Chains A and B, each alone.
Chain A
Amino acid sequence: MINLPLLPILIPLLTGVLLMFFTKRLWMQRIVSFLSTLLTIGVSLYLVSQVKANGILTVTLGSWPAPFGITLVSDMLSALLVLTTSVLVFFVIWYSMTYLSEQHQRFYYYIAVQFLLVGVNGAFTTGDIFNMFVFFEVFLISSYVLIVLGGKPAQLRESLKYLLVNVISSALFVMTVAFLYGIIGTLNMADISQKISEINQPGILSVIAILFLVVFGLKGAIFPLYFWLPGSYQVPPTPVLALFGALLTKVGVYGILRTYSLFFSNEIGIIHSLLGGLALATIIIGVIGALATKDAKQILIYNIIVAVGVILYGVSVMTRQSLEGAVFYLLHDMLIKAALFLLVGIMIGIAGSSRLKSMGGMIKAYPLLGWTYFIAALSLAGIPPFSGFIGKLLIVRGGIEAGDLVGPFIVLASSLLVLYSVMQIFIRGFWGTPKTYTGSRRHLVKQLLAPSILLVMITVAYGVGAEAVRPFITQAVDPLVDPSLYIQAVLKEG
């Protein structure tokens, strides 16, 4: 199958188009999007196995040879990210069927989710920097629709700001691509990587590196550019929030990971230490936010920021071990953040509000929910048998190996504080005297628990089966450590 890397983009795209033909029939919408995401998962699994067997797969669209046409590249990193994305979207669709009101689902909800999947999968797969911009726009426009669906005053107010921030960062992205094209004269990422070392212009390259940091940092919410995230992510309903928190920020992180390993790998100087410093500041600011708030949603939202910081610290160190840790933690965080948001969504559905004040004593009525949340919380903080531990261990060891002590200390200290912040939800929500719950979704808990528990089980399996996952991670890190593998796969096969 030569066109295999295209399928995870094409299937949701065609599904999205197909769904537009019967927008009135909700049941058909649900069944079709449920089945098509299952199919996407199957294809992504096959893609991962093929990449494992045959190395990096490339598709040149229209058979134009590599530096001229648009190339899609599936190395192990992007294949794993595509698989994780498809799995998450599947569970979120399953969850949304019962969580969201029928009226909400009727307003093109499933279509927007399918196009979000197109954009995210495309951004992970593309090997062309301008194409990446286009796929960014695809998922951003879907996210504009998802964030504003519902039309409450608070949603309109926050989506205006979300839209403005993203429009500005998109314009900056185009400008960055323009500068890059101006000095290198190509848009193919492998070609850029090859030629960027020949052009001896460190000044303008630093400018481009920092512009990329700003562009992807705005999407990924790193330290000075995270300001829009807590407000915007507060307003959409929880399943949408699970998609945003798990996928959208991680695409920004992927952008930094890809560009910094391919384009700027030779300049491990000021730019990488800048990235490291910002990553540590991101961890600190995220932890402070998570500890300061008394709102279940906000605690998790600030934890998104912490995770972005931890991953980017691993990226900035740029040793093999820290990169392995970063990739491992990236996949772990996508899964566990979505699972936690789905679980907290059930709590909000029971209590009717996301404030911790209005919850309490839920463990009596909902023991299964409570213990699932407990496992997910331990997993997020990185308690040993679970998946967060291995990623953090590798990042910390990589950091120490590179001679840095402050970074590993902050990463380790942050895990304790993260544990404290998510345990706040457990203690205040599940312990204490039961309150009278007034939430509108109290009767739906059974249906909502099924996808959430399955997702938590996947994350537990991911941690316990780390030995089995390790070869995949190692293969994913290979082209990051040694860009020539990526370059050869793209340019030689063309």
Chain B
Amino acid sequence: MEIIMAIAAGILTMCAVYLILSKSILRIIIGTGLLSHAAHLLVMTMGGLKTGAAPVLEDGVTKYTDPLPQALVLTAIVISFGVTAFFLVLAYRAYQELGTDNIEEMKGTDTND
């Protein structure tokens, strides 16, 4: 099971890199979403995917699911959700101001303050 999950995380990363390398901002944002999903999946996989009793500290339980990766992923999901929302709003504002969603046309070094 762990191997399948690791491969899934790899495929997600691959798709994310492909999308991030494209020119349209919307595709890039979807790519970052996929990348964070891959990272979360990796955290889950690295904790081990045992099925068994509830993760409570009790004597005599030998087969239990590690609760820590789930807590970590929960935190990381909240953060990546917030950042993605901000990213989408920023992309929309940038589209309004700059009139393009093509990252190629966003070069420039004009100075201002």
Could you tell me which A residues sit within 8 Å of B by CB distance?
130, 133-134, 137, 141, 144, 148, 151-154, 156-157, 159-161, 163-164, 167-168, 170-172, 174-175, 177-179, 181-182, 187, 231, 234-235, 237-238, 295, 297, 348, 353-355
Contact = CB atoms under 8 A, between A and B. Distances in A.
A174 B40 contact: yes
A181 B103 CA distance: 36
A175 B39 contact: yes
A164 to B, nearest CB: 6
A192 B108 CA distance: 44
A456 to B, nearest CB: 21
B43 A174 contact: yes
A355 B36 CA distance: 40
A151 B97 CA distance: 9
Given A134-B79, A156-B94, A174 B25 contact: no
Contact of B109 (A141, A172, A181, A234): A234
B43 A178 contact: yes
A357 to B, nearest CB: 11
Contacts of B113: 237-238, 297, 348, 353-354
Contacts of A141: 82-83, 86
17 contacts: A130-B72, A134-B75, A144-B83, A153-B98, A156-B90, A157-B94, A157-B98, A160-B90, A161-B106, A164-B28, A170-B36, A170-B80, A171-B36, A171-B38, A174-B39, A177-B43, A354-B113
Contacts of A137: 79, 83
Nearest to A155: B112
B42 A175 contact: yes
Given A163-B86, A164-B28, 12 more contacts: A134-B79, A137-B79, A156-B90, A164-B87, A168-B32, A171-B35, A171-B38, A171-B39, A174-B39, A182-B45, A187-B68, A235-B112
A153 B97 CA distance: 6
Nearest to B43: A178
Interface residues of B, number: 39
Contacts of B20: 164, 168
B93 A181 contact: no
Interface string B75-95: 110011011001100110110
Contacts of B36: 167, 170-171, 174
A177 B75 CA distance: 13
B82 A160 contact: no
B93 to A, nearest CB: 6
A353 B45 CA distance: 53
Nearest to A148: B90
Nearest to A241: B113
A235 B113 CA distance: 7
B54 interface: no
Interface string B25-61: 1001000100110111011011100000000000000
A156 B93 CA distance: 8
A154 B32 contact: no
A144 B88 CA distance: 13
A168 B32 CA distance: 7
B72 A177 contact: yes
Contacts of A163: 83, 86-87, 90
A152 B79 contact: no
Contacts of A164: 20, 28, 32, 87
A234 B106 CA distance: 15
Given A134-B75, A141-B83, A160-B106, A295 B98 contact: no
B18 to A, nearest CB: 14
Contacts of B87: 163-164, 167
A14 B68 CA distance: 28
B22 to A, nearest CB: 12
